[in-house]
């Protein structure tokens, strides 16, 4: 039993490297470069910082990746995080309710917006890009309106600990990230729902003929994505001790970049949690490393844009090769 | 003959694994409407595609107005005056009538496209087909019949002499058919030659001067429609020698497992009733578009059912849902393996296990042993040829993909197996293998429903046959009564007993 288990582990690890060697080597090259040219890149404090930045991106990326596996997209993330953060802080600051209700409100708001996205996408047939882009605008507007244009601040220590505290040297947000990644792994690899997600993304018609309730799957994916955005908003608010309507601008770009870097195809039907982790790490390392090297942060936007195009193009070449084989 | 417009002789065309045309021929004169008939797959469209430059023939001669010509592509064909109006119209829905007529040959004034000039130029062509509509109207807003007229008008602007219409009435209303017929007769009097591909007997006698019959890619005969009747045509269309690769051992059928009563679903299924028995292969024949797939999809709950009753083992299923029907042992192997059947970019293993995940995935635990036993059982029981279960399906041949599709649905352990065109587009060897599998399944006591548009296939493989035509079941025949003539009569609406 032990032997077969370890054999399985060896095989799985080998498979992982074989599948992801491209981006893994990119990650290693980047880390090497930054540790040579940027001071302190490899220091313990910086590593903790790095992981902390990765965490918030990762929450969104988990949802966005699921949407991309369905051959869709979710652009609501950043704006929804802002709205959830504002609502969360308002709940206990302005209404005087306990902290945990604020956290719940933030997450449930994410769930609600995700549900609306899912229902519209499923029952109107409007492309997810359009629906979630519009929803992004709605959420951003609502966040400014509710917060009256300025940050809703809090001095509550308990709440800020939710985003800034740590267990030993590991920050809470990183622990949340690990938990979510494990749940995501089980969803995609060990559950029927996960297989159904891959099936619907691979071919909606074939999935329907296989008896899969495709509407249910679609709604579920955008709901998960909404919940993750809501959670992201709460963590951001806790870290900043305020719900800021302007926060999370462009976060969806990072989430998409992490997904496509991790080998999730825009054609749908493919994408792994293992790949996503590397994608998230690469995006994190780029921001962190360039900051250490004192590169103007605006360059990061330019660089991420280039990375998305390159990664998607690489995926298209791969698809073409596959289609030619078939 | 002096006014001979077109003569095609000894046309041969081979596709991988199939001889689609085997010394096919047709002759057409000026001012003649020539019907072109034959069973599904007889080669009618392929012959016309050879003329239209869509699939240039491997060998054979084509003469236009007595001159021998070579046609390699659509452009050369158009330049020779051939216009092919396909079943699926090829118009741009968001452009105007005039813009569609002159698509790719836009008229310009000072280097700018001139809508006025094109609209003016389109006028005479539209009048010739009797279409009295503003040439600046958007094509998407026209009825299908009017769109067809626009296509014909477009062919005039290309100086067409030969007009090919591929089942032009299949999606038209009765009024539109009448308009079309009047236009076609008018064009005939203007001296055009028209090839009219059709499945409908009535149209041949109503419209065509003569009719050419094809069978198995070969020219059979050309008859003057005034001097023949329906039976003459049918006996020319069938009567082929049946291949001997069918495997069938007939057994005594058991009790009724699946019964459908008065099913109505959308436009394609009207008041259909039938029953399927244990150990029996029920054939479902009909021409393409008769509503066969739609009937089965309604029964499975894949498409909404407007009214009717589905009974499983005598018990009514209130609202059929795909998952529920699968659990109750009804499996539908859909027609198109590439879009409906398989997820091509995924592996064999993924596809085979997709309908039965609940057998080995429970509470976030995957029973790997069970999973691999389902996969290997599926692969071995019908001998799929693949390097491993982890190759993606798009690397397999059509025949092997079809077998994966069968394995996928057999993994659900069905009691009723509905097969929609299970041998479509696969080579003869794979066909024989599939027939063996189907026969074994019936022998093992499954109720098999075999949907097919290949008559020899249904005749040889089924114990009983129902025939659909235009959304309805028009006939039911016992094996002892099978005859190609009888079946075609039901399928073409000459006869009805259902």
Q: Are B372 and B353 in contact (CB under 8 A)?
A: no
Q: Give the model confidence (pLDDT) of B195-219 as tens digits.
A: 999 877 888 899 999 999 998 889 9
Q: What is the mean pLDDT of residues B184-200?
A: 90
Q: Are A259 and A58 in contact (CB under 8 A)?
A: no
Please check the confidence at residue B17 and state whether its pLDDT lies above 70.
Answer: no
- Residue closest to A214 by CA, chosen among B483, B5, B322, B218: B322
- Integer Cα distance of B307 and B326 in angstroms: 21
Q: What is the mean pLDDT of residues B473-489?
A: 90
Q: Give the model confidence (pLDDT) of B285-294 as tens digits.
A: 988 778 999 9
Chain B: closest CA distance from residue A229 (Å): 24
Domain count, chain B: 2
Pair B133, B193 in one domain:
yes
Specify the pLDDT at position A322. Answer: 62
* Coil, strand or helix at B20: strand
Q: Which residue of B has its CA nearest to A190?
A: B364
If pLDDT is split at 50, 70 and 90, which confidence band does B249 have? confident
Pair B141, B272 in one domain:
no
- Tell if the CB–CB gap between A326 and B395 is shorter than 8 Å: yes
Classify residue B56: in a domain, yes or no. yes
Classify residue B450: in a domain, yes or no. yes
Specify the pLDDT at position A5. Answer: 67
Domains of chain A: 55-325 (1.10.3470)
Classify residue B250: in a domain, yes or no. no
Mean pLDDT of chain B: 88
Pair B108, B182 in one domain:
yes
Longest dimension (CA), chain A: 63
Domain with residue B480: its CATH number is: 3.40.50.300
User: What b/e readout covers B283-309, taking b as 16+ CB neighbours within 10 angstroms?
Assistant: bbbbbebbbbbbbbbbbbbbbebeebe
Pair B78, B147 in one domain:
yes
Classify residue B247: in a domain, yes or no. no
DSSP B383-451: T---S-TTSBGGGS-HHHHHHHHHHHHHTT--SEEEEESTTTT--HHHHHHHHHHHHHHHHTT-EEEEE
Q: Give the model confidence (pLDDT) of B314-333 as tens digits.
A: 999 988 999 999 999 999 99
Pair B291, B325 in one domain:
yes
Residues of A in contact with B392 (CB under 8 A): 322, 326
Interface probe for B, chosen from A195, A210, A213 (most Cβ of B below 10 Å), is A210
Specify the pLDDT at position A318. Answer: 73
Q: What is the mean pLDDT of residues B13-37?
A: 87
Please give the ipTM for the structure prediction: 0.85
Pair B392, B303 in one domain:
yes
Pair B468, B409 in one domain:
yes
Classify residue B244: in a domain, yes or no. no
Chain B: closest CA distance from residue A101 (Å): 30
Among candidate residues B204, B237, B270, the one where a domain is terminated: B237
Per the model's pLDDT, the better-predicted residue between B49 and A114 turns out to be A114
- Tell if the CB–CB gap between A208 and B342 is shorter than 8 Å: no
**Six token digits for residue A168:** 């030993």
Chain B: closest CA distance from residue A206 (Å): 4
Interface probe for B, chosen from A189, A206, A270 (most Cβ of B below 10 Å), is A206
- Residue closest to A260 by CA, chosen among A283, A284, A278, A279: A279
Specify the pLDDT at position B455. Answer: 84
pLDDT per residue, tens digit, chain A (326 aa), is 456 667 777 888 888 887 788 788 888 988 998 888 877 888 888 999 999 999 999 999 999 999 999 999 999 999 999 999 999 999 999 998 999 999 999 999 999 999 999 999 999 999 999 999 999 999 999 999 999 999 999 999 999 999 999 999 899 999 999 999 999 999 999 999 999 999 999 999 999 999 999 999 999 999 999 999 999 999 999 999 999 999 999 899 999 999 998 889 888 999 999 999 999 999 999 888 888 888 888 888 888 888 888 887 887 787 677 655 54
Q: Which residues of B touch A (CB under 8 A)?
A: 302, 322-323, 325-326, 332, 334, 339-346, 350, 353-355, 357-358, 361, 364-366, 392-395, 408
Classify residue B54: in a domain, yes or no. yes
Please check the confidence at residue B157 and state whether its pLDDT lies above 90.
Answer: no
Classify residue B243: in a domain, yes or no. no
pLDDT above 90 covers what percent of chain B?
Answer: 47
Under 8 Å CB pairs connecting chains A and B tally to 76
Pair B168, B83 in one domain:
yes
Q: Are B254 and B277 in contact (CB under 8 A)?
A: yes
Specify the pLDDT at position A326. Answer: 42
Among candidate residues B205, B237, B269, the one where a domain is terminated: B237
Specify the pLDDT at position B241. Answer: 44
- Integer Cα distance of A113 and B266 in angstroms: 35
Pair B232, B270 in one domain:
no
Pair B224, B274 in one domain:
no
Classify residue B325: in a domain, yes or no. yes
Chain B: closest CA distance from residue A212 (Å): 7
Pair B206, B106 in one domain:
yes
Pair B225, B286 in one domain:
no
- What is the span of the domain harbouring residue B451? 256-491
**Six token digits for residue A184:** 């995501």
């Amino acid at each position: 039993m032990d032997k077969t288990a370890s054999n399985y582990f060896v095989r799985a690890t080998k498979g992982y490297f074989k599948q992801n060697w491209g981006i893994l080597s990119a990650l290693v090259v980047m880390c090497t470069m930054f540790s040579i040219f940027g001071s302190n890149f490899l220091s313990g404090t910086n590593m903790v910082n790095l992981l902390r930045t990765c965490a918030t991106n990762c929450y969104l990326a988990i949802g966005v990746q699921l949407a991309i596996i369905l051959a869709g997209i979710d652009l609501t993330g950043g704006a929804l995080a802002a709205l959830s953060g504002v609502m969360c802080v308002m709940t206990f600051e302005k209404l005087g309710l306990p902290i945990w209700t604020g956290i719940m409100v933030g997450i449930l708001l994410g769930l609600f917006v995700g549900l609306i996205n899912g229902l519209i996408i499923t029952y109107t047939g409007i492309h997810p890009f359009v629906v979630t882009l519009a929803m992004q605008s709605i959420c951003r507007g609502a966040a400014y309106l509710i917060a009256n244009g300025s940050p809703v601040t809090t001095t509550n220590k308990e709440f800020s600990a939710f985003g800034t505290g740590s267990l030993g040297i590991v920050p809470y947000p990183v622990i949340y990230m690990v938990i979510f990644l494990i749940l995501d792994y089980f969803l995609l690899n060990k559950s029927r729902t996960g297989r159904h997600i891959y099936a619907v993304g691979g071919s909606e018609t074939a999935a329907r003929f296989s008896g899969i309730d495709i509407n249910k799957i679609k709604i579920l994916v955008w709901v998960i994505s909404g919940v993750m955005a809501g959670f992201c908003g709460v963590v951001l608010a806790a870290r900043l001790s305020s719900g800021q309507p302007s926060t999370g601008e462009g976060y969806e770009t990072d989430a998409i970049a992490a997904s496509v870097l991790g080998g999730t195809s825009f054609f749908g039907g493919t994408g792994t949690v293992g790949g996503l982790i590397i994608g998230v790490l690469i995006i994190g390392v780029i921001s962190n490393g360039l900051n250490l090297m004192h590169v103007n942060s605006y360059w990061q936007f330019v660089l991420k844009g280039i990375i998305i195009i390159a990664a998607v193009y690489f995926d298209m070449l791969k698809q073409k090769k596959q289609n030619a084989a078939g | 003959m002096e006014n001979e417009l077109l003569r095609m002789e000894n046309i041969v065309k081979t596709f991988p694994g199939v001889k689609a045309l085997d010394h096919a021929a047709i002759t057409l004169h000026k001012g003649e409407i020539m019907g072109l008939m034959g069973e599904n797959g007889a080669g009618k469209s392929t012959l016309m595609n050879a003329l239209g430059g869509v699939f240039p023939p491997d060998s054979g001669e084509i003469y236009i107005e007595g001159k021998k010509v070579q046609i390699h592509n659509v452009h050369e064909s158009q330049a020779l005056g051939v216009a092919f109006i396909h079943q699926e119209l090829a118009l741009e829905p968001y452009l105007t009538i005039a813009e569609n007529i002159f698509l790719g040959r836009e008229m310009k004034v000072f280097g700018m496209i001139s809508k006025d000039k094109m609209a003016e130029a389109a006028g005479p062509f539209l009048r010739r087909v009797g279409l009295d509509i503003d040439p600046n109207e958007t094509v998407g807003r026209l009825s299908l019949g009017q769109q067809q007229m626009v296509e014909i008008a477009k062919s005039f602007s290309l100086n067409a002499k030969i007009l090919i219409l591929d089942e032009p009435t299949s999606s038209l209303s009765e009024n539109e058919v009448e308009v079309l017929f009047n236009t076609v007769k008018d064009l005939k009097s203007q001296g055009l030659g028209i090839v009219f591909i059709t499945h409908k007997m009535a149209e041949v006698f109503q419209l065509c001067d003569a009719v050419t019959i094809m069978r198995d890619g070969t020219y059979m005969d050309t008859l003057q429609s005034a001097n023949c009747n329906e039976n003459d045509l049918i006996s020319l269309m069938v009567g082929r020698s049946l291949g001997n690769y069918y495997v069938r051992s007939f057994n005594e059928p058991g009790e009724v497992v699946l019964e459908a009563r008065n099913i109505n679903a959308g436009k394609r299924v009207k008041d259909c009733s039938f029953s399927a028995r244990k150990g029996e292969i029920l054939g479902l024949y009909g021409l393409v578009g008769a509503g066969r797939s739609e009937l089965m999809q309604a029964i499975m709950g894949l498409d909404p059912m407007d009214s009717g009753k589905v009974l499983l083992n005598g018990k009514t299923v209130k609202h059929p849902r795909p998952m529920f029907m699968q659990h109750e042992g009804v499996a539908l192997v859909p027609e198109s393996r590439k879009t409906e059947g398989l997820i091509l970019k995924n592996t064999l293993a993924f596809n085979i296990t997709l309908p039965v995940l609940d057998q080995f995935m429970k509470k976030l635990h995957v029973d790997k042993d069970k999973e691999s036993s389902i996969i290997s059982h599926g692969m071995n029981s019908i001998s799929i040829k693949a390097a491993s279960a982890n190759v993606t399906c798009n690397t397999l041949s059509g025949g092997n993909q079809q077998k994966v599709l069968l394995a996928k649905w057999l993994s659900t352990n069905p009691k009723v197996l509905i097969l929609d065109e299970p041998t479509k587009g696969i080579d003869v060897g794979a066909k024989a293998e599939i027939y063996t599998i189907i026969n074994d399944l019936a022998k093992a006591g499954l109720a098999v429903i075999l949907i097919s548009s290949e008559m020899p296939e249904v005749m040889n493989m089924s114990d009983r046959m129902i025939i659909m035509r235009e959304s309805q079941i028009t006939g039911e025949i016992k094996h002892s009564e099978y005859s190609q003539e009888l079946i075609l009569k039901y399928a073409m609406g000459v006869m009805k007993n259902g």
